[in-house]
Structure 1
Amino acid sequence: MFQLIQRGQTYADQSGWPVVIHSTTSQIVRYWRQGRINTASIDRFNQNFEHLDHHEAAQIRAELETSEHIKSLRAMRAA
């Protein structure tokens, strides 16, 4: 299926992390992942990334926040 890749859209990478499109050209895609801009070729991006709607992206972000909160609580308990 053909789909335009546009700035601001949310995708999931192979690890399941949400990424936000920063910019695109005819050959590369630049995207935000964990506060950094990364680059992928169009072919690699089409193979390894999955488009997310707003609800899916929000759910993934909530799960990641919960996971990070649990990690910080465990670290505080161990200290």
Structure 2
Amino acid sequence: MFKLIQRGQIYADQNGWPVIIHSSTSQIVRYWRQGRINTASIDRFNNDFEHLDPQEAAQIRAELEKSEHIKSLRAQRAA
């Protein structure tokens, strides 16, 4: 199936992290992940990434933020 990859679309990488498309060509896809721009070939991108609708992306972001918050609270308690 053919799917157009456009700037601003949200995908999940193979680790479940949400990524935002920065740009794409017929050969490569550039995407933001955790504040950095990374590059993947079209073949790798099609195999390793899954398109997310905005609701799924918001849920994943909320879970990641909660996880980071819990981690920081534990670090504060240990210090």
* TM-score (ref. length: structure 2): 0.99
What residue in structure 2 maps to residue 73 of structure 1? 73
* 1:1-79 correspondence to structure 2 within 5 Å: 1-79=1-79
Helix, strand or coil at the partner of 1:70: helix
Q: Which amino acid aligns with 2:43?
A: D
Structure 2 residue runs of 5 or longer lacking an equivalent are none
1:2 deviates by: 1.5
- Alpha-carbon RMSD: 0.4
1:3 deviates by: 0.8
* CA displacement, residues 33-59 of structure 1 (integer Å, 9 cap, x when unaligned): 000000000000000000000000000
Q: Would you say how many aligned residue pairs link Structure 1 and Structure 2?
A: 79
Structure 1 outlier segments of 4+, above 6 Å: none
Instruction: Measure, in 1, the Cα distance between the counterparts of 2:61 and 2:24.
Output: 24
Q: Which amino acid aligns with 1:21?
A: I
- Of all paired residues, the percent bearing the same amino acid is 86
